Amino acid sequence: MKYALVTGGSRGIGRAACVKLAKMGYNILINYRSNNEAAEETRRLVEAEGKTAVLMQFDVADGQAVKEVLATWMETNKETMSIEVLVNNAGIRKDNLFMWMEEEDWNEVLDVNLKGFYYSTKLVFKHMLLKRYGRIINVVSLSGIKGMAGQLNYAASKAAVIGATKSLAQEVGRSKITVNAVAPGFIKTDMTADINEKEFKSRIPLRRFGKVEEVAAVIGFLASEDASYVTGEVISVNGGLYT
Ligand code: NAP
């Protein structure tokens, strides 16, 4: 059975990615941290596409938990499954001007957004190397490309994942594994619920926030055969908002 693993698949962009990949024929491993109800809803949406959904609750920043849940599942199902797609989407922000940014908020954002990339990718890419096929898609951010006042921790974590994306693409290309990133701008999710669209939209050439499905469409493209010669890239989905 062919699987796609989506971290942070319970809500927002991750949920839309789960549905998109299910529509493309993948069974889905839905990772999430704590929101059981939201994860169950994603499961329902994946199953409505006729695909199998497996809920995987673990904190992507906790290496031990990733091993206990993901590595155990992979070992138990190794004869019958193949994880072809990994979407590293789980992420958080804890914004503050650098002047006021506490070490705790710096560490937490780096742990989830950057170490979270490390643990899941480390496990899954080894499996992909053996299968000699894989698509790794990292959800980064416009902040990681251009920087953003009040988001040093977040921008640093996303810029680091962009560097990791480009480097890993160069290491694993010969094994037919592609590694790319998608960089959303302002997308309507719980993460941006505190940002006033009316106030910000005049700065966006397309004059609106994006929809999760618009990000999932690009994730779907990068996971597809159509993207077989695209690797080490960062594709922006931001309505034209650059600088
Ligand atoms: P969201 O609506 O806040 O959802 C976050 C998802 O990540 C949830 O499924 C959450 O699980 C999961 N999650 C958070 N911390 C986790 C952890 N430590 N371990 C496992 N899962 C964890 O966020 P979103 O807006 O969809 O953002 C998704 C990704 O896109 C993030 O990487 C974010 O940085 C990036 N992004 C978003 C925007 C935007 O405008 N929304 C812009 C640029 C980039 P629970 O449901 O269990 O809490």
Give me 236's structure tokens. 């922006």
Burial of 241 (0-12, 13-18, 19+ CB in 10 A): middle
CA–centroid distance, 89 to ligand 1, in Å, is 6
Average pLDDT in the chain? 97
Decide if 154 is catalytic: yes
Q: Are 165 and 121 in contact (CB under 8 A)?
A: no
**Inter-CA distances, 64 with 6, 39, 97, Å:** 18, 21, 32
CA–centroid distance, 93 to ligand 1, in Å, is 9
The per-residue pLDDT for 3 is 98
pTM of the model: 0.98
Q: Is the pLDDT of residue 243 over 80?
A: no
Write the CATH number of the domain with boundaries 2-237.
Answer: 3.40.50.720
Closest of 89, 70, 74 to residue 21, by C-alpha: 89
The per-residue pLDDT for 242 is 79
Q: Are 49 and 16 in contact (CB under 8 A)?
A: no
- Residue list, ligand 1 pocket, CB within 6 Å: 7-8, 10-14, 31-35, 38, 59-61, 89-92, 112, 139, 141, 184, 186-187, 189-192
**Once rounded to an integer, what is the mean pLDDT over residues 164-191?**
98
Q: What ligand 1 atom has the least distance to the C-alpha of 184? A: 43
**Per-domain boundaries in the chain:** 2-237
Q: Which of 32, 154, 229, 242 is catalytic?
A: 154
99-153 per-position pLDDT tens digit: 999 999 999 999 999 999 999 999 999 999 999 999 999 999 999 999 999 999 9
**Once rounded to an integer, what is the mean pLDDT over residues 163-182?**
98
Backbone angles phi, psi at 16, to 5 degrees: -60, -35
CA–centroid distance, 7 to ligand 1, in Å, is 9
